Amino acid sequence: MLKELCIAVSVTIVLASSSYAMAKDGCSGDCTSCHTLTPQEATGLLKKIGGTVTSVRQSPARGLYELLVEKGDQKGIIFMDYGKKHLIQGMVVDLEKLEQVIAHKNELPQPKQITTVDVKTIPVSNAVIIGNPKGSKKLYVFTDPDCPYCRKGHTELKKLARLDPDLAIHIMLFPLPMHPAAYDKSRTIIETRSLDLLDKAFDGKEIPKPTKESSKKAVDEIVKFGHDNGISGTPTLVMPDGKIEVGMRDAELMKKMLEVK
């Protein structure tokens, strides 16, 4: 069953063009005979977003390269078309099995099956708080400003803060490797602790670039905590008792969930 994580299923329609033209005698079925991309070349193509491509394989979806990208201590997958002109973020899903298919499955860290965490260990000093900072109730939200589900959820979190004036919502910025620009956005928000910039980032608007090295450490601490505690996707909620809830809920439902804790 596909969970409500930040995923986008990409369906690629290969149009007749010079980039995809078949040889006169047709396609042999071996894409590597015509289309090649080295990790070094791919790293150069990704210079605007950063990161190092450590491996390139043919994607399970024909017409795409699957790139294994490392940035800091994170690993992730990005897809590139054979024309080497476009990047695709998201997940390839087998329509029959409704399961993710990935060429680099064994190279990616496998999330731990953890259902609760000790909330005292969450690095809340790096959080940005929505609602009442002195509230007796606390909700921890691991979220990514470039995740479409998180963007919708951000609106619900603001509604929730209005519904429950005794609630402190700790926004734990957890940029995913598939969203390369989210890392610097997260740094800027943590540096400024600005709720206005937080809103702008989740509205898809441009915000200033980060300027302090300390924000790298802050974001990396959140990411490390997530990886160490089985949090691998966004949005992910951690309830006051430490229970992990994957995916976002609407404001009314979250309020009810918090009342029974």
- Among the listed residues 226, 77, 228, the one whose alpha carbon sits nearest the alpha carbon of residue 143: 226
Residue 67 CB-density burial (10 A; 0-12 exposed, 13-18 middle, 19+ buried)? buried
CA 220/CA 232 separation, integer angstroms: 14
Question: 44: which residues sit within 8 A by CB, 6+ positions away?
Answer: none
Helix segments in 23-111, DSSP class H: 39-45
Say what the pTM is.
0.63
Architecture of domain 119-259: 3-Layer(aba) Sandwich (3.40)
Amino acid at 171: I
For 31, what's the count of Cα atoms within 13 Å in the CB-facing half-sphere? 16
DSSP at 161: H
pLDDT in tens, 30-46: 666 678 999 999 999 99
CATH class of the domain at 31-107:
alpha beta
> pLDDT at position 6, please?
47
Helix (H, G, I), strand (E, B) or coil at 41: helix
**What are the pLDDT digits (tens) for 210-220?**
999 999 999 99
- Segments making up each domain of the chain, as ranges: 31-107, 119-259
Provide CB contacts within 8 A for 213, sequence distance 6+: none
- Tens of pLDDT along 115-125? 899 999 999 99
Instruction: Tell me if 131 sits within 8 A of 167, measured CB to CB.
Output: yes
